[in-house]
Structures are given as C-alpha cells and as structure tokens.
Amino acid sequence: MLRVEDTEQAPVEFSAALIAKFDDIKSRYPEGKQKSALLPILHETQAEFGWLSAPSMDKVAAYLDILPIEVYEVATFYTMYFMRPQGKYVLEVCRTGPCCLVGAEKIMDYIEQQLGVKEGEVTPDGLFSWRGVECLAACGFGPVLQIGPEYTFYENLTTQSVDTLIADLKAKANN
C-alpha cells in the first residue's frame, strides 16, 4: 500500500546506464505506445534501488511521459514490486498447494526461525527479508524459493539446503 508519508522520500538519480536500458526497452513498442515499457522499466528500477520509492516512480512517470498515478496504480497492483525497503536478499517462498503437499510450510517456519524475523520484516543487518508468495510454476520441484533481482530458483528445498543458502548469501555479502 502506498502511504502519503512515503511520498516524503529522498530524491533519486537515474544513471546514464539505467536510462540506456530504458531506451532499449522503449524501442520495442510502436510509436506512442511507450507506456507498454512500464512493467519492464519498473523491474530495472527495482533491480537498481532494491525497491520502488515514490520519487523513483515519479521519475519513471516523467521518463515515459505519463502521470505519476499511472505508475503508482501499476506498481501497487503487481506483487513483485516492493513499496518499501527490503533486505538485500529477499527469500520468496512458494506457499501454494502443490508446494505445501511436499513441505513448504515447514520450510517457511524454518526460514523464519533461522533469520529471526517475521514475514515481511528485515533482519537487523539489512541482509535478509522473506515472504510467502503464490505459485511460482515449479510445483514438481517443490518446495521452492526465488531471490531477485535475477529471480534465481532454489528447488527441492530441505532445512539443510536452506542453511547452505543462507550461509552462502552471507558470505557473498561480506565479500
């Protein structure tokens, strides 16, 4: 949910490299249909900043020559866009039926216990947050989780593989 106080946020700068990515995306659509670029551009923006602040969405609106509300209404509709800061690594665990048949709920409990934060919260070191998400289309390889912005999949999860994953990510962050 986008709240009024969230609009009081630090301004952001879009790098030339990011704008070049935007330009490439925009070229995929017919003249005058640049609004089609909105979803992919929001993914690029989130990959750069970790979430979508109101100033970043306003800049996207200006870039696409559309109203800010057209960006907000899209960003809040789709589940992949974060409306507040997240951990560096967001563990998104599938919580839908088929994964639950093979133990997804236990995996979520275990992740909560290992990270020591509730769903949606960020660990004090800023490294991790986690949440349950709906079906990730990997039901035959459940339980599964994904980590953006590359959305790498981790399949057939066990408590041991979760331990390894968290340890690897910590090591990666400290390098």
Partner 1 sequence: MGRKLLLEHINVPGINTLEVYRQKGGYAAVEKALKTLTPDEVVEEVKKSGLRGRGGAGFPTGMKWSFLAKPEGVPRYLVCNADESEPGTFKDRYLMTYIPHLLIEGMIVASYALGANTSYIYVRGEMMPQIRILERAIAEAKNAGLLGKNILGTGYDLELYVQPGGGAYICGEETALLESLEGKRGNPRIKPPFPAIAGLYGCPTVVNNVESIAAVVPIINEGGDEYAKIGIGRSTGTKLISASGNLNKPGVYEIELGVPVEEFIYSDEYCGGIANGKRLKAVVAGGSSVPILPANLILKTINNEARLMSYESLSDGGFATGSMMGSGGFIAFDEDQCIVRNTWNFSRFYHHESCGQCSPCREGTGWMEKVLHRLEYGHGKMSDMDLLVDVSKKIEGNTICPLGDAAAWPVASAIRHFRDEFEWHVTNAAEATTRNYGLAHYADPLPKVEKAEA
We find the least distance from the C-beta atom of residue 23 to partner 1, in angstroms, to be 14
Closer by beta carbon to partner 1, 110 or else 153: 153
- Three-state secondary structure readout of the chain: CCCHHHHCCCCCCCCHHHHHHHHHHHCCCCCCCHHHHHHHHHHHHHHHHCCCCHHHHHHHHHHHCCCHHHHHHHHHHCCCCCCCCCCCEEEEEECCHHHHHCCHHHHHHHHHHHHCCCCCCECCCCCEEEEEECCCCCHHHCCCEEECCCCEEECCCCHHHHHHHHHHHHHHHHC
β-strand 152-154 against 128-133: which pairing, if any?
unpaired
Which residue, 62 or 163, has its beta carbon nearer to partner 1? Answer: 62
Four-point Cα dihedral 137, 140, 145, 148, nearest 10: -40
Query: Which residues, 18 to 47, sit near partner 1 by CB under 8 A?
Result: 28, 30, 33, 35-40, 42-43
Q: Which of 2, 12, 18, 80 binds partner 1 (CB under 8 A)?
A: 80
**Which of 97/120 has CB closer to partner 1?**
97
Residue list 89-108, contact with partner 1 (CB under 8 A): 95-98, 100-102
Closer CB to partner 1, residue 85 or residue 149? 149
11 touching partner 1, by CB under 8 A? no
**7 vs 96, beta carbon nearer partner 1:** 96
Which residue of 143, 146, 162, 165 would you call a contact of partner 1, by CB under 8 A? 146
**Which residue ranges make up the site for partner 1 (CB under 8 A)?**
28, 30, 33, 35-40, 42-43, 64, 66, 70, 73-74, 77-81, 95-98, 100-102, 133-142, 146, 148-153
